[in-house]
Structure 1
Amino acid sequence: MLRFIFRRLIQAAGVLLTITLVSFLVQGQLGDPVQQMLGQNVSLETRMQLKAELGLDQPLLVQYQHFLSRAIHGDLGTSYYYKEPTLNVIFSKLPATVELSVCALILVALVATPLGVIAAIRPRHFFARTIMFFSTLGLSVPIFIFGILLVWLLSVELRWLPSFGRGDTVELFGFWQSGMMTVDGLKHLILPAVSIAFVLIPMFIRLICAEMTDVLHSDYIRFARSKGLSSVRIYFIHALKNTMLPVITIGGIQVGTLVAYTIVTETIFQWPGMGRLFMEAITRVDTPLIAAYLIVVGCGFVLLNTLVDLIYGLVNPRVRIPGYGV
């Protein structure tokens, strides 16, 4: 296991190095930050002075070396707009995005798992056919259209739920601003969480149904039935456990796509999270903040993929990742 972890750390370092290079190169393609900070009615001398202070007058390779050296020490620059360290700005928005993503994933697990199992157990039943029909329909509807429909129906017409913002929050552990501890915060959380879950649920229903169907035709399931085990035990213990192996792998990758979904969702619902912060940073050409966001998200991807590999080996002891276990 130690060899596996060490190997993954080496791979992670290579991936993160590539991400820092891409993030650095992206900065030069998003416009002139000096012009965004000073405007156009400023003398050339003032522009050159600010450019020198930001280190933008140095060769590209020298700029990248300085950028990488600071990144290794946890300094990803200072936001041009907020005038604060970029990591402080990003982490101030992190709780909102984490809570939104976690609630969406909980909805996905609670809805997709039973519906996928039911569709696999009774594939010709009317209810199973209805599930698969709506899962296909759900895959065809973009998230921004569904989000706008939710706002129109539940906020504008019925006025049941708020359409934007995060609502009331409370401070937890001295640094975490949570909206899940207040009624108003939970009301504001429902629509954006449902929007993200709506995109993921159809895919997981079809994935669980397909894998469950294959597992139910395997030899060990026939053996379990011949032993007289109950259907509930066969379906939800023996079959579902092996069904979840590919679901964990693909699900871990799809969780990464939450970054894209949160950007769209947070923009629609004006949710004060990392996704909306990223869009605002692009609009303001806040290049240090954009680069820091890409690096933070890249670190999250690397960590998530490593955890998926570990969980995959724990769920199925027969799986032996090279270097994992004995």
Structure 2
Amino acid sequence: MIKFLFARLLQASIVMLVISFIAFAVQSKLGDPVSQLVAITASAEEKATMRDQLGLDDPFLIQYGRFLKNAVQGDFGTSYFFKEPTTKVILDKLPATLELVFIASLFIVFVSIPLGVYTAIRPNSVLTKFIMGLSIVGISVPVFLTAILMINVFSLYLGWLPSYGRGETSDTFGWQSGLFTVDGLKHLIMPSLALSSIMLPLFIRLVRSEMIEALSSEYIRFSYAKGIKEKTIWYSHALKNTMLPVITVGGVQLGIMVAYTILTETVFQWPGVGLMFLEAVNRADIPLLTTYIIFVGLLFVVTNTIIDLIYGLIDPRVNLLGGK
């Protein structure tokens, strides 16, 4: 296990170095930050002075080396718009996004597993055909279209739920959360459902296919021959093996879901890192954009490492080091 962690730490360092290089390389294509920092009436000399102060005229490798040196010390730069360290800006916005992803993940887990198992053990039922047909529609409809439709139905037409914002929050162990207020929960319902809509059909189909494969395996036939109860076979034997690939895919999709919050947070004006990223693009806030890209990359690396560890603990047959 220690060797595995060391190997993954080395791999993660290399991956993060590549991500930081790419993120820093594309920043020149995102706009001119000087135009956002000076007045419209600023002269060419004033703009040149600003560029010199920011080091934007230095060669690329010198700029990247300076960025990397500061990043190792935890300094990823200062946001041009917020006038604060980029890490602080992201950490301030992160709780709202994590709440959204957390509730969406709970909904995906508690809906996809029962429906996936049911459609596997009752493949010819009318309900199964309806669920699978609905899952195709769910995969095909973009998340922003689902969000707009929900706003029109549940906010504008029925008036049941608020259409934008985070709502009332409470201080819980230093975390400003909407999970512990009625108003906050009302504001969470539609964004979390919209965010989960793109992943839910995928997981229903994944659980179903893995469950069908598990039920057709030899050890399941042997369990039937031994006279073990059918429900015990389904839920104690087949479902356990079904969860292994689901956990692996789920870890990757968790990181992707954070990226999907850009669309969801924009439609619902949810004050998280997704909306912050889009606003940073419009403002050409290059330090904030670069830090966000590196943050998302780090999230993927950490998530995949944790999933590998969990996979190895659940299935002892898995050799984490990949040896024989």
**TM bin (shorter chain):** over 0.9
CA displacement at 1:227 relative to structure 2: 2.1
Amino acid at match of 2:176: Q
- Alignment partner of 2:29: what SS? coil
Which residue does the alignment assign to 2:32? 32
Which residue does the alignment assign to 1:149? 149
2:261 aligned with 1:262, yes or no? yes
Contact 1:4 1:323 in 2 (8 A): no
Contact 1:117 1:212 in 2 (8 A): yes
Which residue does the alignment assign to 1:244? 243
Which residue does the alignment assign to 2:186? 187
Which residue does the alignment assign to 2:306? 307
Amino acid at match of 1:241: K
| Matched pairs, number | 324
Contact 1:116 1:205 in 2 (8 A): yes
Amino acid at match of 1:106: L
Q: Distance in 1 between matches of 2:244 and 2:182?
A: 36
CA displacement at 1:198 relative to structure 2: 1.2
Which residue does the alignment assign to 1:136? 136
Contact 2:97 2:273 in 1 (8 A): yes
Contact 1:162 1:188 in 2 (8 A): yes
Q: Which sits farther off after the overlay, 218-227 or 190-199?
A: 218-227
Contact 2:16 2:297 in 1 (8 A): yes
Which residue does the alignment assign to 2:288? 289
What is the CA RMSD across the aligned residues, in angstroms? 1.2
How do 1:167-182 residues align onto structure 2 when only pairs under 5 Å count?
A: 167-174=167-174, 176-182=175-181
2:51 aligned with 1:51, yes or no? yes
How do 1:82-121 residues align onto structure 2 when only pairs under 5 Å count?
A: 82-121=82-121
Q: Distance in 2 between matches of 1:196 and 1:173?
A: 26
Contact 1:167 1:185 in 2 (8 A): yes
Q: Distance in 1 between matches of 2:51 and 2:179?
A: 44
Which residue does the alignment assign to 2:318? 319
Tell me the TM-score normalised to structure 2 length: 0.98
Tell me the TM-score normalised to structure 1 length: 0.97
CA displacement at 1:260 relative to structure 2: 2.7
- Alignment partner of 1:171: what SS? strand
- Alignment partner of 2:198: what SS? helix
Contact 1:79 1:286 in 2 (8 A): yes
Q: Distance in 2 between matches of 1:243 and 1:170?
A: 39
Structure 1 outlier segments of 4+, above 6 Å: none
Which residue does the alignment assign to 2:227? 228
CA displacement at 1:323 relative to structure 2: 6.1
Amino acid at match of 1:273: G
CA displacement at 1:242 relative to structure 2: 0.3
Contact 1:112 1:202 in 2 (8 A): yes
CA displacement at 1:154 relative to structure 2: 0.1
- Alignment partner of 2:264: what SS? helix
Q: Distance in 1 between matches of 2:200 and 2:59?
A: 48
Which residue does the alignment assign to 1:196? 195
Provide Cα deviations, 1:62-121, integer angstroms capped at 9, x if missing partner.
Answer: 110000001111100000000000000000000000010010000000000000000000
The alignment-based identity, stated in percent, is 52
CA displacement at 1:34 relative to structure 2: 0.5
- Alignment partner of 1:228: what SS? coil
Contact 1:3 1:323 in 2 (8 A): no
Contact 2:97 2:258 in 1 (8 A): no
Q: Distance in 2 between matches of 1:46 and 1:275?
A: 33
CA displacement at 1:172 relative to structure 2: 2.1
CA displacement at 1:40 relative to structure 2: 3.1
Q: Distance in 1 between matches of 2:212 and 2:132?
A: 14
Contact 1:256 1:301 in 2 (8 A): yes
Structure 1, gaps ≥5 residues long:
none
